[in-house]
Amino acid sequence: MAFNSVPANAPINRRCGDFIGYTAITNFVGYPLNGQWGSQNLYTKYDIGTPMTTISAKNYGTFGGNPAIFGNLLACQVTSNDSANTCYNSGLPNLANCCGCVDWPNSSVPTAVNASCAGTNADWTNTAGTEVTGQNAILWLKKACPTAYSYQFDDPSSSFTCNPGATTRTSYQIVFCPGGQSSLPAGAVDGR
């Protein structure tokens, strides 16, 4: 992915250029449909603009005065009835429609912290009728970078903390590109 400021209606957009990194599908929710560019229109391919009423029987409310769309769930954009809010908070009134929260401790993916979910939402983990689910859209990123902040509200599985005290020491070591490995695709030019 490379960035460019053209066209004006989508100031950050996909452009041909040197490789500078990856982005999660949640970022495409912010790009308008008419601002998509490239060989694939990801907004359409991943049903980002599809109304939640055609995907789920649940009431997801509205976002910005419009009926909630699948993109709101992918991006964890909290809607009018508190849908798409974090699944890590057990005190939420609409936990059945929560967003995010893979139960990482019960998966094969290592994370920074073993954070357990307060709730799960089948529409985020295995939505029927769409090519991607919220969970699958970030799973590849979390497998490659276990401590990366891969979606909104991912703090509990991506944050490192130290215990306060007279002597504070870390019990972990941060290694960038262990063994010289990088995520640069074969044949790509590093644009950093």
pLDDT digits (tens, 9 = 90+) for 55-93: 899 999 999 999 999 889 888 899 999 999 988 888 888
Cα–Cα distance for residue pair 184/170, rounded to 1 Å: 29
And the tokens for 147?
A: 């401590």
And the tokens for 150?
A: 């891969």
Residue 54 CB neighbours (<10 A): 12
The pLDDT value given to residue 33? 65
The pLDDT value given to residue 2? 40
Cβ-contact 74, 100 below 8 angstroms: no
The pLDDT value given to residue 40? 66
**Domain with 179 in it:** 1-192
* Structure-token match 């936990």, residue found: 95
Cα–Cα distance for residue pair 141/155, rounded to 1 Å: 15
Residue 77 CB neighbours (<10 A): 20
The per-residue pLDDT string of the chain (192 residues; one tens digit each, 9 = 90 and over) reads: 444 444 444 444 455 566 566 667 777 776 666 666 566 677 777 788 889 999 899 999 999 999 999 889 888 899 999 999 988 888 888 899 998 777 666 677 666 566 678 888 888 887 666 667 777 777 777 777 777 777 777 777 776 666 666 566 666 677 776 666 666 667 766 665
CA-based nearest residue to 72, from 63, 136, 174, 3:
63
Using DSSP, state whether 29 is helix, strand or coil: helix
And the tokens for 27?
A: 């970022």
Number of domains in the chain: 1
How many residues would you count in the chain?
A: 192
